[in-house]
């Protein structure tokens, strides 16, 4: 088991497990990923960190978009500080947890306005601010989990990708 000093070691089983779930030998996966058998072995055994491109390729080949989140959360220097690990949950669980977070935030809406309206966060407001922030972070994680589940359903052919993208594009840019 790896220590905290080498995050790639903590990832060794995740990449290997996803390849094995596909029923692929390391050689077949390396061919599909356009990388050497040796490089894939080093990645799977934690001797080498995968590059973002390696992870994108594995994510696509293994139909596992959650590998990207895992990489950002575990192997990326910046991501370890800013990207929360998103659970790979089933759609009903994601929706229930998402709605719970939305309801929790609705209850805190007035608190957030009260805390921030004057532009100053007083020491006695910090506990309430932290609760609001925590709830928003939970909401964000569930939104990301929903997105990963949708991507997985697209990859598995359960959602028509072109119809999905067409509807999404109709909504336009977010900002």
**pLDDT at position 4:** 44
CATH number at residue 75: 1.10.260
With 90 as the cut, is the pLDDT of residue 8 above it? no
With 60 as the cut, is the pLDDT of residue 109 above it? yes
Say if CB 27 and CB 49 are below 8 A apart. Answer: no
Q: Has residue 31 been placed in a domain?
A: yes
What would the pLDDT profile of 133-159 be if each residue is shown by its tens digit?
999 999 999 999 999 999 999 988 999
State the average pLDDT over residues 35-58: 94
Q: What share of the chain has pLDDT > 70, as a percent?
A: 93
Q: How far is CA 142 from CA 10, 52, 60, 91, 104, in A?
A: 24, 23, 22, 10, 13
State the average pLDDT over residues 125-130: 94
**pLDDT at position 141:** 93
Cβ neighbours for 36, distance < 8 A, ≥ 6 positions apart: 30
Q: Which residues in the chain belong to E strands, given as ranges?
A: none
Q: How far apart are the C-alpha atoms of 102 and 121, rounded to whole Å?
A: 24
With 90 as the cut, is the pLDDT of residue 105 above it? no
With 90 as the cut, is the pLDDT of residue 50 above it? yes
What would the pLDDT profile of 57-87 be if each residue is shown by its tens digit?
999 999 999 999 999 998 899 999 999 999 8
Which pTM does this prediction carry? 0.75
Range of the structural domain that residue 120 is part of: 91-170
Count of CB atoms situated within 10 Å of the CB of 153:
14
Residues 121 and 58 in one domain: no
Q: Has residue 136 been placed in a domain?
A: yes
End-to-end CA distance of the chain: 43
Given 82, 108, 134, the domain boundary residue is 82
Residues 101 and 55 in one domain: no
**pLDDT at position 11:** 41
């Amino acid at each position: 088991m790896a220590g905290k000093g080498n995050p790639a070691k903590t990832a060794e089983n995740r990449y290997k497990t996803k390849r094995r779930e596909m029923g692929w030998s390391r050689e077949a996966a390396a061919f599909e990923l356009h990388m050497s058998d040796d490089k894939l072995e080093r990645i799977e055994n934690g001797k080498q960190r995968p590059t973002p491109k390696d992870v994108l390729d594995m994510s696509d080949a293994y139909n596992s978009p959650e590998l990207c989140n895992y990489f950002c959360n575990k192997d990326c220097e910046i991501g370890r500080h800013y990207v929360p690990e998103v659970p790979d949950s089933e759609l009903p669980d994601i929706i229930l947890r998402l709605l719970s977070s939305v309801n929790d935030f609705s209850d805190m809406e007035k608190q957030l306005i009260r805390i921030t309206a004057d532009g100053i966060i007083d020491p006695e407001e910090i506990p309430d601010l932290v609760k609001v922030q925590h709830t928003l972070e939970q909401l964000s994680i569930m939104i990301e989990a929903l997105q990963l589940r949708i991507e997985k359903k697209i990859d598995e052919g359960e959602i028509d990708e072109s119809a999905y993208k067409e509807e999404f594009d109709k909504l336009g840019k977010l900002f």
